[in-house]
Amino acid sequence: MQAHVKSLNFGYKTDLTKLKIKYYNCFASFMDKHTISLDNGKGKIETVTAEKIVIATGGRPTYPDIPGAKEFGITSDDLFYLKSAPGKTLVVGASYVALECAGFLTAFGYDTTVMVRSIFLRGFDQQMAQKIAAYMESTHTKFVYNAVPKCLEKQENGKIKVVYQVGEEEKSEEYDTVLFAVGRSAATKSINCEAAGLKVEKNDKIKVNPYEQSNIPNIYAIGDVQYGRLELTPTAIMGGSLLAKRLFNKSKVLMDYDNVPTTVFTPLEYGTVGLAEEEAISRYTEKGIDIYHTQFKPLEWAFNKTAERMGYVKVIVVKKTNRIVGFHILCPNAGEITQGISIAMKCGLTKTQLDQSVGIHPTVAEECVDLHITKAEDPNATKTGC
């Protein structure tokens, strides 16, 4: 993996050189709203000025404020730098990063436990999140529910003792590796935003307007440093590309932060675009929407007699307009399907148009065009036959 990342970075540097873009491998910090200090880490500091400045420093994983967390725990950033196998692992958190890491560690054969404080996949559709957790539990990932770690202690045998709280009860367990996936913070603390007059929120993020501008008009922010926006790499790339075109190519196209597709790469992939069920009910009320759904067994699982695994798909439809405002699917290769559906939703996809589309047999995607039972009619709708 490290070799792959290095090759990507080398390619980016090469492209910058070809395009005659000056690249500084330095740590940047503000001196004022037009001036940047560049520190190469080897004693050389220089300054550059610019009419416009874009902050795209991304985010970094955070640690909980408990004894031993930073001394004995790691984050997802560290996982691929380990010199030895992680062994028995505790993953603290229930974000998509936490569940993805736990999923592949279990698949590699490691004894893996996820410590969940409250809910799975905060911000995502909660029915889908619960189905992912149930699937992972059935495929040997362990879960400790309603628990928070209190401290980490290194033992004489080299293992890490985790003391944690479950309700009123205090418990402990030893692990070889403890991985924290409890959230990320924007990497803005050390770039001296104050010198430029930038307003930074409590979570270190920067509020921007629809043009990606901060409170200082010549300073823009893109990606994970934006306050209240999606923390997704493709979103940042698209936002940056559109900003460049507006600044230098007379474009007027703004980034659309609605209907952004994404996939959670848990052992059972979860593809989604548009509103979660909870959001749709809040926005349109339960009487204003229909939710079409079905459970199904992908053909590639049909001959697997070791587990009763089921896929699931649902679409959320506004009754008044017939417009699809939410799509959710759990199945192998969910991301590939979701990308196609997201394009259609960008074009205003209706349930009627979905119904009139011919399915490709025997793909998982054909289940998306054969949805005729609502949750209200049958909460446990299941596809039978082909």
Mean pLDDT of 132-150: 96
Check pLDDT > 80 for residue 227.
yes
Q: How far apart are CA 12 and CA 6, in angstroms?
A: 10
Mean pLDDT of 198-213: 95
Q: What is the pLDDT of residue 385?
A: 67
Residue with tokens 């992972």: 136
Name the residues annotated as catalytic.
361
Report which of residues 36 and 298 the model is more confident about.
36
Mean pLDDT of 159-170: 96
Sorted by where each starts, the structural domains of the chain and their CATH numbers stand as 2-58+185-248 (3.50.50.60), 69-184 (3.50.50.60), 262-369 (3.30.390.30)
Is residue 155 very low, low, confident or very high in pLDDT (cuts 50, 70, 90)?
Answer: very high
Check pLDDT > 70 for residue 60.
yes
Q: What is the pLDDT of residue 41?
A: 95
Q: What is the pLDDT of residue 308?
A: 67
**Average per-residue pLDDT in the chain?**
95
Q: What percent of the chain has pLDDT over 70?
A: 98
Contacts of 174 (CB under 8 A, 6+ apart): 88, 155, 157, 159, 160, 161, 162
Question: Is the separation of the CB atoms in 115 and 102 below 8 Å?
Answer: no
Residue closest to 139 by CA, chosen among 108, 177, 168: 108
Is residue 307 very low, low, confident or very high in pLDDT (cuts 50, 70, 90)?
Answer: low
Check pLDDT > 80 for residue 384.
no
Query: What one-letter code names the amino acid at 348?
Result: G
Report which of residues 299 and 356 the model is more confident about.
356
Query: What one-letter code names the amino acid at 166?
Result: V
